[in-house]
Amino acid sequence: MAEPRGPDVFARAHLRLALLFAGIVVILVVVSSFITYLNVRSDLQAAARGVFTPGETEQEFVTRSLGSFRWRLLAVDGAIILAVGIGGLLYARSTLRPIRDNVAAQKRFIADASHELRTPLAIMKTDFEVALRDTAFPDEARPLLRSGLEEVDRMTGMVDDLLTLSRIDAHQEQLVDERFDLAALARQTAHKLAGLAAAGGVTVQAGGADSAPAAGDERHVQRALANVLRNALEHSPPGAAVEVQALTAGGVSSVTVTDHGEGMTPDELEHIFDRFYRADSSRSQERGGSGLGLAIAQWALRRMGGDLVAASTVGVGTRMTITLPMPRA
């Protein structure tokens, strides 16, 4: 297994790439010139000796020589093209190896670190909860404990997202195929996040179809809904409303979450499903999200045959739509 290398690995790869490329071009030019030279020389020598085929004039000899020279040149070109193709593949593989090793090392690190962080976080959570239940604990310390517990929960969520990401990359994240009611799940999720909505002075209006039968992995869909709704709440000004609407049409069940927050520019919108992307980092930094929620949600929904799409206008708001296939009868 290759050792993780420092940043100079790119400088070395750069130099090696340039040298290899120059070397290959030089070899090709020299080889093709040499072969052309040998061909022309042998024809000219034959002409100088006057060894023409019986009955052949000088003019006919030149035409025949040029014709055969053309075919030899074509054969040489074919061989060179083949050599360039094979050489190019080997060359690309060798120059990409350090980058591939680094990416693999990074992924291993994310997987190992998130795995290792789970136990201390679980212990901290239990400690905070035990302390909060302890009646001997001074009341003044309770807000501090509650805030600590919230932070531990947030970090646990981030670590879980990182672990999910590692499992997705290792093709280990398995999805189950269940039947459930997307409309009911959306209502439940809105209910669970009522505290967050109230804290931000935002009202959630759940409506639309009473039931929206869907097929997919309910746990992942719940996670996607919670992230989309949390995003909408966190980006809504106090006093605003967030609308959650369920719908069924054409064999598809969907839920739209509409907020009236600051919205996003087309440029930001293009990247929100990228891993670790957070638009307007100064604003997002305060909340400390990891920028993984939408990337994981879209991956999961697409694997279930559904999708997650976004539409947004700066100063007007954002609409996120989750779609899932309806179960086959």
Ligand X SMILES: Nc1ncnc2c1ncn2[C@@H]1O[C@H](COP(=O)(O)OP(=O)(O)OP(=O)(O)O)[C@@H](O)[C@H]1O
Q: How far is CA 138 from CA 144, 156, 233, 323, in A?
A: 11, 27, 33, 49
Q: How far apart are CA 124 and CA 130, in angstroms?
A: 10
Q: How far is the CB of 277 from ligand X (least distance, A)?
A: 6
Residues 158-177 that bind ligand X (CB under 6 A): 161
306 binds, among Mg ion, ligand X, none (CB under 5 to 8 A by kind): none
261 interacts with Mg ion by CB under 5 A: no
What residues contact residue 263 under an 8 Å CB cut-off, 6+ apart? Answer: 312, 313, 314, 315, 316, 317, 318
The Cβ of residue 322 has, within 10 Å, a number of other Cβ atoms equal to: 26
Measured from the CB atom, the residue of 143 and 195 that comes closer to ligand X is 195
318 interacts with ligand X by CB under 6 A: yes
291 binds, among Mg ion, ligand X, none (CB under 5 to 8 A by kind): ligand X
Q: What separation, in Å, do the N-terminal and C-terminal C-alpha atoms of the chain show?
A: 50
Judge whether 232 and 321 are in contact, CB under 8 Å. Answer: no
258 interacts with ligand X by CB under 6 A: no
Measured from the CB atom, the residue of 112 and 150 that comes closer to Mg ion is 150
231 interacts with Mg ion by CB under 5 A: yes
User: Which position among 293, 299, 304, 323 is part of the footprint of Mg ion (CB under 5 A)?
Assistant: 293
Q: How far is the CB of 228 from ligand X (least distance, A)?
A: 7
Residues 28-87 that bind ligand X (CB under 6 A): none
Residues 142-161 that bind ligand X (CB under 6 A): 161
Q: How far apart are CA 299 and CA 166, in angstroms?
A: 13
Q: How far is CA 152 from CA 79, 118, 126, 302, in A?
A: 64, 10, 10, 30
259 interacts with ligand X by CB under 6 A: yes
Residues 264-303 that bind ligand X (CB under 6 A): 264, 272, 277-280, 284, 289-295
Exposed/middle/buried for residue 47 (C-beta within 10 Å: 0-12, 13-18, 19+): middle
Q: How far is the CB of 239 from ligand X (least distance, A)?
A: 16
Beta strands 241-249 and 317-325 are unpaired
What's the one-letter identity of residue 69? F
292 binds, among ligand X, Mg ion, none (CB under 5 to 8 A by kind): ligand X
User: Which position among 164, 227, 253, 312 is part of the footprint of Mg ion (CB under 5 A)?
Assistant: 227
What's the one-letter identity of residue 66? L
Q: How far is the CB of 225 from ligand X (least distance, A)?
A: 12
Q: Which tokens sit at 141?
A: 């310390």
Q: How far is the CB of 180 from ligand X (least distance, A)?
A: 22
Judge whether 284 and 278 are in contact, CB under 8 Å. Answer: yes
The residues that touch Mg ion, with contacts defined as CB under 5 A, are: 227, 231, 289, 293
The residues that touch ligand X, with contacts defined as CB under 6 A, are: 161, 227, 231-232, 235, 259, 261, 264, 272, 277-280, 284, 289-295, 318
